[in-house]
Amino acid sequence: MYSNMEYSNGHHQQQERVTSHRDRIRRGGRRSRDSLRASEHPHQQQQAERKPTTPCTDFDVAYFHSYAHVGIHEEMIKVVVDVGCGTGILSIFCAQAGAKRVYAVDASDIAVQANEVVKANNLSDKVIVLHGRVEDVEIDEEVDVIISEWMGYMLLYESMLGSVITARDRWLRHGGLILPSTATLYMAPVTHPDRYTESIDFWRNVYGIDMSAMMPLAKQCAFEEPCVETISGENVLTWPHVVKHVDCYSIQIEELESIITSFNFKSMMRAPLHGFAFWFDVEFSGPAISPINKHASSNNHPVDGCQKKKRANPNEALVLSTAPEDPPTHWQQTLIYFYDPIEVEQDQLIEGSVILSQSKENARFMNIHLEYASGGRSFVKESVMR
Secondary structure class of 275 (helix, strand, coil)? strand
- What is the C-alpha separation between 134 and 286, in angstroms, rounded? 24
Confirm if 189 and 266 have CB atoms less than 8 A apart: no
- What is the C-alpha separation between 133 and 319, in angstroms, rounded? 29
Q: Is the peptide bond before 314 cis (omega within 30 degrees of 0)?
A: no
- What is the C-alpha separation between 233 and 328, in angstroms, rounded? 11
The DSSP bridge partners found for residue 6 are 379
- What is the C-alpha separation between 91 and 63, in angstroms, rounded? 12
| 229 catalytic per annotation | no
Secondary structure class of 257 (helix, strand, coil)? coil
E-state strands within the chain: 5-6, 79-83, 101-106, 127-131, 143-147, 172-179, 182-190, 227-229, 241-247, 258-266, 271-284, 318-321, 333-344, 349-358, 366-374, 377-385
Annotated active-site residue in 49, 74, 142, 158: 158
- What is the C-alpha separation between 72 and 66, in angstroms, rounded? 8
Cβ burial 152-164 (10 Å sphere, 16+ → b, else e): bbbbbbbbbbbbb
| 149 catalytic per annotation | yes
Q: How many CA atoms lie less than 13 Å away from 383 in the CB half-sphere?
A: 27
Annotated active-site residue in 149, 225, 283, 371: 149
The DSSP bridge partners found for residue 189 are 276
Q: At what angle do helices 89-96 and 110-120 cross, to 10 degrees?
A: 30
Residues with catalytic annotation? 149, 158
